[in-house]
Amino acid sequence: MKNTLCYTKRRTAGLTAFLLAFLLLFSWGIRGTAATETIATDGSFEEDEVGTDAANTLDFAIDWINEKGNDVATAVVMEENGGKFLHIEGFYEIYSYDLFDEGYTFSVDARTGNGALIGFFVRSGRNPAEKFPFYEWDWYAEQEGKNGESGIGGSGISVHLMEDGVRVNIKNYQEDGSHVSNTYYDFTGLEGYQNPAENFNKITIADEGTRIVISINETLLATVELSDIGTYETDTEKPPVDFVYYKTAVMKNAAGEEVVKINNARVVAEEYMSAIGVRNGKLDIDNIVISYEDEQPDPTEAPEETTAPTANASTEKPDTTSTVKPAATNAPQEEEPSDSGWILWAVIAAAAVVAIILIITVIVRKKNKNREK
């Protein structure tokens, strides 16, 4: 009987130790894991009335700033085949209200027959000192530049829906001309690519930090690898100014083969934005979305103390160059119920199991002693 009792005691003690160890590891794992939430803008126009100006749309205008290049430019909601979209004509630009310093994804469904004059930008900057709109011509060749071509915008990487393929352009620095030029590669023979003048094609640009991933209709098109952060002295004289760039850019096709490499890129490295530039053309867009991962605070941590606002605190909308959250998040929202309650119940349940095991151990021990007698 002693052997049986010893076995029972060892088995019970082992099970108890296992449960306690599991409970400790479980609690440590919960405390050490930070939750993330995917934030995505609402880029559809289904809730807007036909004829609504872009600046007055319900959701789109919250996350994107819309600016006309002249009085005749327009951007209004239209409807076709039961679906609504934004129709743009003339000189027009759209840029994100947010500035970014880390990864995000920019996607949009687009239809246009003016590919070279309509660009979808990432890693771009907007000069607060002297306006350089995304539809603006850089005038490089017109100012006797000999080492590249002219194009729209002043910085960043842009995607253009051409008639026979997709162009990926990298803005760059040159010592001659206007100091702002372009290096691009045209990807042709793309499977699933539809005539952009008649059909919507989906552009997706994922910013992974030092790597930009570009897809068309959910199919990988190209990647651009970035390195060598720096500035250009002439930027203090002409726009764009005060930007820090990735100077080295290596573009590869879907197979990973290098197609372009430059060491004079103007790809903004800090506080950059996404944008669309339309230079006297026509563009239809829908489902324009920016999404990113937002790390949530550990639920076990105490909230940080906040300073009460002073009487002079400003309630005005921040300048477009400030890094802010989308305006949609400024409105008060209902507080979601905490999910930490179930952890407490799990601890109580585990403690109950341990207590029951200890009680059973005592009972078994007493019974065996009685039998030995």
pLDDT digits (tens, 9 = 90+) for 29-78: 444 455 667 888 888 999 999 999 999 999 999 999 999 999 999 999 99
Indicate whether 27 and 147 sit together in one domain: no
Helices 2-32/341-372 angle, 10° precision: 170
Residues 50 and 60: their CA atoms lie apart, in Å, by 14
**Does any domain span residue 316?**
no
3-state SS assignment for residue 210: coil
| Under 8 Å between Cβ of 122 and 212 | yes
Residue 272 CA to residue 162 CA, distance in Å, equals 25
User: Do 345 and 367 lie in a common domain?
Assistant: yes
- Of 270, 294, 318, the one marking the end of a domain is 294
pTM for this entry: 0.72
- Say yes or no: 148 and 28 in one domain: no
Instruction: Judge whether 300 lies within some domain.
Output: no
Please give the pLDDT value at position 330: 39
**116 and 109 in contact (C-beta within 8 Å)?**
no
What is the mean predicted confidence (pLDDT) over 245-274?
98
Compute the mean pLDDT over every residue in the chain, rounded to the nearest whole number.
81
- Same domain, yes or no, for 8 and 153? no
Partners of residue 159 on adjacent β-strands: 120, 168
Check residues 165 and 296 and name the one with the higher pLDDT: 165
Which residue range forms the structural domain that includes residue 352? 2-33+340-372
Q: State how many domains the chain has.
A: 2
- Diameter of the chain by CA atoms? 110
- DSSP letters for 9-56: HHHHHHHHHHHHHHHHHHHHHHHH---EEEEE-----TTSPTT-BGGG
| pLDDT per residue as tens digits for the range 217-243 | 999 999 999 999 999 988 877 666 679
Question: pLDDT by residue (tens digit) across 318-329?
Answer: 343 333 333 333
> pLDDT per residue over 153-198, tens digit each?
999 999 999 999 999 999 999 999 999 999 999 999 999 999 999 9
User: Which of these three, 294, 329, 362, is where a domain ends?
Assistant: 294
Q: How far apart are CA 95 and CA 66, in angstroms?
A: 7
**Higher pLDDT pick, 73 / 299:** 73
What's the one-letter identity of residue 280?
N
- Answer yes or no: do 77 and 212 share one domain: yes
